[in-house]
Chain A
Amino acid sequence: MAHGGGGHAAEVYPENQVLAVGAILAIVGMYVAHFVPSLSMLIGGLLAAGACVAGANTVRKVAAYGLGTGVPSIGMISLGMGTMAALAGVLIPKVFGIPEIVTPILAAVIAIVVGFIIGRLTVNPVGMKIPIMVQSMTKLSLAGALAILGFCVAYAGGFSADVFIDNAVKNGIIALAFIGAGMSILHPFNACLGPNESHERTLTLAVACGLITWLVFAIAKLDLISTIVAAILWAIAYGTYVKMSLRDACCVLYTPELPKKEEE
């Protein structure tokens, strides 16, 4: 039984480009949030959504092969690896006395290393027969780490260990980041897969999911300006997605009815 796996639709934007843009945006967002705490949710939250889009795009690419266990599984392992890498990025500088300025970069490097090794393990000994498994796990681990760290830094207002642990971990906000960012990484392709899946539509949904995660965080922080901006941007993105779905739905690809037994 293979869940998912709608085959490959045409790729409009190259995967590496989307990943690079998403990762850079999220990292820039974290630095802005760290140095200008008053803008942390407005800029940091917006740019963290970039990591969600990058992750959703990679999920689309790898899950189209058919994972055998459903699309959500790869989103969840991405967030599992991401949580550890994000917290490692925050705690390791404190432990070893490295300047905390390296936190986002360190988290990204740890995420890439962990993702690569766990990706290799899914090929051998586990035996996943997806040619892009290793690179996809590496990219997903990176996207997961940056999404979690991005939203938590936006909420906490900085990535130094003391600020981050007190304002984003001990109050449980990191759990919200885990599931919120997780949903926006795994949901877009899970919702759009199947015949007539289009890259543009899936990515639009990914943007909408990233923005609604930002909206949730803005509400959680009671940041009025961010809430309004996020709500407007989300409404625009989601409206675009609905329009695209309606547009694409005029050419439904009908599948034939199941053959009746007598007609065999």
Chain B
Amino acid sequence: MDAVSLLIPLAEITIAGAIINASVHFVPVGGAPAAMATSTGVGTGTTQLAAGAGFTGLMAAAAMAAQAGVDVFNPAHLALIALSGAVGSMIMLGITMLIGQLIYVFGVGVVPAADKCEKDPITGDEQRPYITPGTTGHAVPTVCFVSGLIGAGLGGIGGALAYIALKQLGFDTAIAGILAVGFFFINAVLASYNIGGTIEGFHDPKFKKMPNGVIASFVASLLCGLVLLGMAGLA
């Protein structure tokens, strides 16, 4: 293969890693406190949520890529695969947040309210009066939900892009799948170390730390890309 067909997958992998890392910062993660409704977000860790959304996206992307007549080198088909990944991932995280929300509101009996902003940036609703003293908010308020959907969409695109790049490098579907899973975990964990615990979404002050995580993933993905090029016999 010539230099261009070698550089394109490398660039795709590097960008995919950076997108996956950025996407994790959008997902409202509350960890154990959220499970007890004393903070906003979904009651589990960043890695698990990102992995769940990312893998669903990966599956959706792989299913689209496996359709007859789909060519991974065709830009239009490439966009279609990425879109399939994004939609799959958004459905998964959207349903997770919706069911969580139903349990919060009707099971635990709390009002969805964010602690990190006075007014919900999307609906304009006052948040403060609804926050129980001693807690940092409850459930999944509108702004967190929308942020989560954006994050899931980006994560799906990132996972799909990594899968496409691996397919373009000529890997077998099974190998590309498991490599994409490992690759996804590296970037999701790097992002979760950048966040360090909980995040509400794009309105959270911790969101400003995103560039550090994206740079880390960019470098890590470039390294992974070089190893993958060696494995594909193109280096």
Contact = CB atoms under 8 A, between A and B. Distances in A.
Given A3-B32, A76-B47, A121-B220, A95 B182 contact: no
Given A72-B45, A95-B233, A67 B178 contact: no
A24 interface: no
Interface in A51-83: 67-70, 72-74, 76-77, 79-83
A110 interface: yes
A14 interface: no
Contact of A88 (B31, B183, B196, B231): B231
Contacts of A67: 193
Interface string B170-208: 001011001101111110111011111110000000000
B98 interface: no
B189 A73 contact: yes
B175 A80 contact: no
A63 to B, nearest CB: 12
B46 interface: yes
Interface stretch (B56-64, B72-80, B100-108, B222-230): B222-230
A65 B206 CA distance: 21
A172 B224 contact: no
Given A2-B197, A83-B182, A117 B220 contact: yes
Given A1-B198, A95-B230, A169 B45 contact: no
A156 to B, nearest CB: 13
Interface string B68-110: 0000000000000000000000000000000000000000000
A3 to B, nearest CB: 6
A85 B175 CA distance: 13
Contacts of B231: 87-88, 91-92, 95
A125 interface: yes
Interface string A125-149: 1111000000000000000000000
Contact of A126 (B184, B190, B232, B233): B190
Interface residues of B, number: 45
A166 B152 CA distance: 33
A247 interface: no
A168 B53 CA distance: 26
A126 B32 contact: no
Contacts of A79: 182, 185
B168 interface: no
Nearest to B188: A76
Interface string A222-236: 000000000000000
Interface in B115-159: none
B219 interface: yes
A193 interface: no
Nearest to A144: B182
Contacts of B51: 76
Nearest to A128: B193
Given A76-B47, A87-B231, A118 B198 contact: no
Given A87-B231, A95-B233, A126-B216, A73 B45 contact: yes
Contacts of B184: 80
Nearest to B46: A69
Interface of A: 1-3, 67-70, 72-74, 76-77, 79-85, 87-88, 91-92, 95-96, 110, 114, 117-118, 121-122, 125-128, 165, 169-170, 172, 174-175, 178
Given A3-B32, A83-B179, 9 more contacts: A69-B45, A73-B193, A80-B186, A84-B224, A95-B232, A118-B223, A126-B212, A126-B216, A178-B181
12 contacts: A1-B39, A69-B193, A73-B45, A73-B193, A77-B189, A83-B179, A84-B183, A91-B232, A114-B227, A117-B219, A122-B190, A169-B172
